[in-house]
Chain A
Amino acid sequence: MLLKAYAELPPRKRIGIIAIILGISAAVIGNPCNTTQTKVNIKEVALKSEKDVDGIKVNELAGWIIEGKMDYRLADLRNESSFSEYNIPSSENIQIGSLTKSDLKRNDKIILYSENDITAAQGWFILKAADYKSVCMLKGGLEAWKNEIVFPQCSCGDNPSEIQKQNHQKKEEVAKFFGGQMETGSSSTKVAKKELPKLKAPAKVNLKRTRSKKKREGC
């Protein structure tokens, strides 16, 4: 009977009623952005984990920083005090709990790192579940960064080949760039705790400014 009355209304009023129904349902829904629950693509997550595609090696990241590439967002998931002691240049401090509330965007190229692999992996899962398109973890975390980039081991024996010499050279240059140095060989020095270089102010790069030309999106 209601439907009959509805059908007899002029088109304008009909649309008005549909609009009001949609409006009331919107009011009931409240917030359209899903901040608490979401659907995870289990297959995708499992496949990516299996294929190990979402990891990035420390030397790859070091290369990007040296080249001055600025198209990624590097997130340090450790706490604030550790971050201010030392952080990888161009990184931002984001706590894992506020990853989705941060200004990381779903279309950003995001790299996560923590002291080791665990927190980064947890962050990876959270962001993948929230449908962030490109998330990578720094393989080995800060430990690997320390041991391979800032304080790399000198691995050459007595008669290094040409290639070994070149690699040695490269490692030294990279280490110097990041304020570290090459560690020479015996196991005793490996045990000694290495102090990471003190942060120079430019280490906290202001990403927003140096990113590629911001397009005007106003009106």
Chain B
Amino acid sequence: MNMIKSWFSHHDHDNARVGELTPKHYTNPYLIGLLLGLVLLSAFVIMGRGLGASSPLSTVVAVGVQKISPSSVEGNAFYEGYLGDGTENPFKNWLVFEILGLVVGGFISGAIAGRNKIMVEKGPRITNNKRLMYAFIGGSLMGFGAKLARGCTSGQGLTGGSLLSVGGWAFMLAVFAGAYAFAYFIRRQWT
């Protein structure tokens, strides 16, 4: 247990006052954008597809619902789309493996920078529990919105955006609009 804890070592976040961001320890955003663009491009060139992140979540939900009550999946085109026709394991899916890699990659980067820490991210004016509740609510809205839009910021945003897809760009504008519009009402959580 202590060994695992040491992987999530304490660093920047201890020294920063609660609510203070420490952006100087993060790499230049433009460089990050360039690297991210190259990763995206490599996906296009190697696989002929872009990245994505909301599908694996849907696959988990579909499999879960199927396990718990198989009858409710039948006739529901949404779940069936993720479960396939039963001949293949639904987790044998490109995006599921990509997300697994994403978690590993994030962990490695965090470990190198010493940013791995079991904690709750929040602003100074709010309690941990309230933050967790908001996180859940935000996640639910995200899940619903992502399925309605057929993607999330990685899929429709980055991938659709770089392919100049009309839907992708419309989606991105809507995301920023929605977030900025609501930011005022939730400012106590972050600032």
Question: What residues make up the interface of A, taking CB atoms closer than 8 Å to B?
Answer: 12, 15, 213, 215-219
Known pairs A12-B30, A216-B95 / 6 extra A-B pairs, C-beta < 8 Å? A216-B55, A218-B55, A219-B53, A219-B150, A219-B152, A219-B154
Q: Does B138 contact A (CB under 8 A)?
A: no
Q: List 23 A-B contacts (CB under 8 A).
A: A15-B30, A213-B84, A213-B85, A213-B87, A216-B55, A216-B81, A216-B82, A216-B93, A216-B94, A216-B95, A217-B49, A218-B150, A218-B155, A219-B50, A219-B51, A219-B55, A219-B95, A219-B151, A219-B152, A219-B154, A219-B155, A219-B156, A219-B159
Given A213-B84, A213-B85: A218 and B30 interface contact (C-beta under 8 Å): no
Q: Does B54 contact A (CB under 8 A)?
A: yes
Chain B residues, Cβ within 8 Å of A213: 84-85, 87
Q: Tell me the count of chain B residues lying within 8 A, CB to CB, of chain A.
A: 23
B90 to nearest A CB, angstroms? 10
Chain A residues, Cβ within 8 Å of B53: 219
Interface residue SS majority, chain A: loop
Question: What residues make up the interface of B, taking CB atoms closer than 8 Å to A?
Answer: 30, 49-55, 81-82, 84-85, 87, 93-95, 150-152, 154-156, 159
Q: Which 3 A-B pairs have the closest CB atoms?
A: A219-B155, A219-B52, A219-B151
Given A12-B30, A15-B30: A218 and B52 interface contact (C-beta under 8 Å): yes
Chain B residues, Cβ within 8 Å of A215: 94
Chain A residues, Cβ within 8 Å of B52: 218-219
Nearest opposing residue in chain A for B56, CB measure? A219
Nearest opposing residue in chain B for A16, CB measure? B30
A12 to B28, CA, bound (A): 10
- Of A12, A15, A217, A218, most buried by chain B (CB within 10 Å of CB) is A218
A215 to B156, CA, bound (A): 18
A216 to nearest B CB, angstroms? 7
Chain B residues, Cβ within 8 Å of A217: 49
A213 to B81, CA, bound (A): 12
A138 to nearest B CB, angstroms? 29
Chain B residues, Cβ within 8 Å of A15: 30
- Of A213, A216, A217, A219, most buried by chain B (CB within 10 Å of CB) is A219
Cβ B30 vs Cβ A219 within 8 A = no
A216 to B54, CA, bound (A): 13
A217 to B85, CA, bound (A): 16
Nearest opposing residue in chain B for A217, CB measure? B49
A217 to B50, CA, bound (A): 9
Chain A residues, Cβ within 8 Å of B81: 216
Chain A residues, Cβ within 8 Å of B93: 216
A156 to B154, CA, bound (A): 67
Cβ A219 vs Cβ B85 within 8 A = no
Chain B residues, Cβ within 8 Å of A12: 30
A189 to B93, CA, bound (A): 59
Chain A residues, Cβ within 8 Å of B30: 12, 15
Nearest opposing residue in chain A for B160, CB measure? A219
A215 to B52, CA, bound (A): 15
A213 to B95, CA, bound (A): 17
Chain A residues, Cβ within 8 Å of B152: 219
Given A12-B30, A15-B30: A219 and B54 interface contact (C-beta under 8 Å): yes
Cβ B151 vs Cβ A218 within 8 A = yes
